[in-house]
Every structure is written in C-alpha cells, then in structure tokens.
C-alpha cells in the first residue's frame, strides 16, 4: 500500500514565528498550537486532497534553503518547498506544512493501522458538521474507511459526536470528529 509517515519538522518559519513572539509570551510556549510537517510523494495531489476533501485553505508557502536545512539537521542538503495549509484564521490557526521531494527516494511507512509503526500516526480534525464533511468527501471522490461513513463515539464520550476515518493520497490516516447536523 502506498503510504508515507507523517514527520514533525521544525521549519524556518516556525523558528521565526517562535523567536518573534517568545519575548511577548508570558507562558512557556509562544503558541498553543503545533504545526506538523507532512512529507509526501506528490505535493500537488496532497494539497488538492487536504483543501477539497478535508477543508483546509492554502496560504502562501515558503522555501527553506538547502544549506540551512543541512545545518539544522532537517535534510542532507535538500531545499524544502513548503505548501502551508490552514484550518481557520488568525495566528493560532492550525497549519499543516506539506512538502514533496520527488527527486529523492523516501522510505514509506506502514499506515495500515495506527498501531503499524511508531510515530505520529494520524491527524484529528474537529468538524462542525459531520454530514457536511461527508458530503465534501463524496464530492472530492474520497471514500471513508469507517463502516457506514461515520460512527458515533462509544459510551463514555460525548453523545451525538461521530467519527470518520479517511486516507490521504499517501495512505496517512485523517480522523474527522464532530456532530451530525
């Protein structure tokens, strides 16, 4: 099965944002969100999936120079061209940084189940309306992995909240959670 493991990267933009806001922050962290980096086999196809099927918006991306990525330990000297996708607006909106490196061979991880290997195994996206999310998936041609499209959370969790599981183009798991309206 075609798949890639999500990798969490500290990128040039994250460092700049953290450095510029750290002095203003009264807590230990400059932001209350984390911004995962996703290495993919086809950036264009992945951006299309996350925008059309999941509902992210693409904002201006950036490039990180090869010498800098090598100096900080991100790559062995490859330039990173980052597509930035956001959920919501404002400085605390979650950002998903998508990068493809088609010129190099990248090991693919086993994404069959969340227990298939170590590491960040899935992303959870809280949706306001599961029915609308399912309709967006259908329009984008994405079939949920979840039986019956979406399943109510089990006893002990909030009632009226549903979960559906989908896979991005590389097989990474995306969990959508929210009420049906």
Question: In the chain, where are the structural domains located?
Answer: 12-100, 122-179
pLDDT surpassing 70 at residue 166: yes
Q: Where are the beta strands (DSSP E) in 30-121?
A: 37-40, 57-64, 80-87, 94-100
Total-model pTM = 0.80
pLDDT tens figures, 13-68: 333 334 444 445 568 888 888 899 999 999 999 999 999 999 999 999 999 999 99
CB 38 within 8 A of CB 9: no
Neighbouring C-beta atoms of residue 132, cutoff 10 Å = 14
Please, are residues 150 and 164 in contact by the beta-carbon 8 Å criterion? Answer: yes
pLDDT, tens only, 109-155: 888 887 777 778 899 999 999 999 999 999 999 999 999 899 999 99
Are the C-beta atoms of 126 and 177 separated by less than 8 Å?
A: yes
Instruction: Name which residue leads in pLDDT, 102 or 159.
Output: 159
**Percent of the residues in the chain that have a pLDDT greater than 90, as a whole number:** 61
Confidence at 7, pLDDT banded by 50, 70, 90: very low
Percentage of the residues of the chain whose pLDDT score is greater than 70: 86
Distance (Å, whole) CA 124 – CA 39: 17
The CATH H-level (homologous superfamily) assignment of domain 122-179 is: 2,3-Dihydroxybiphenyl 1,2-Dioxygenase, domain 1 (3.10.180.10)
């Amino acid at each position: 099965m075609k798949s890639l493991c999500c990798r969490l990267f500290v990128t040039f933009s994250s460092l700049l944002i953290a450095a510029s806001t750290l002095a203003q922050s009264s807590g230990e962290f400059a932001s209350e969100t984390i911004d995962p980096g996703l290495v993919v086999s086809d950036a264009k196809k992945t951006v299309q999936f996350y925008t059309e099927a999941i509902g992210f918006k693409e904002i201006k991306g950036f490039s990180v120079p090869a010498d800098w990525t090598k100096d900080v330990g991100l790559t062995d000297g490859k330039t990173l061209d980052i597509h930035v996708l956001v959920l919501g607006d404002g400085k605390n909106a979650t950002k998903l940084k998508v990068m493809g490196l088609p010129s190099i061979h990248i090991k693919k991880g086993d994404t069959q189940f969340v227990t298939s290997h170590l590491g960040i195994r899935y992303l959870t996206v809280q949706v306001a309306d599961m029915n609308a999310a399912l309709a967006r998936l259908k329009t984008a041609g994405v079939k949920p992995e979840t039986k019956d499209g979406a399943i109510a959370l089990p006893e002990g969790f909030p009632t009226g909240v549903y979960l559906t599981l989908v896979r991005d183009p590389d097989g990474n798991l995306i969990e959508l959670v929210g009420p049906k309206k």
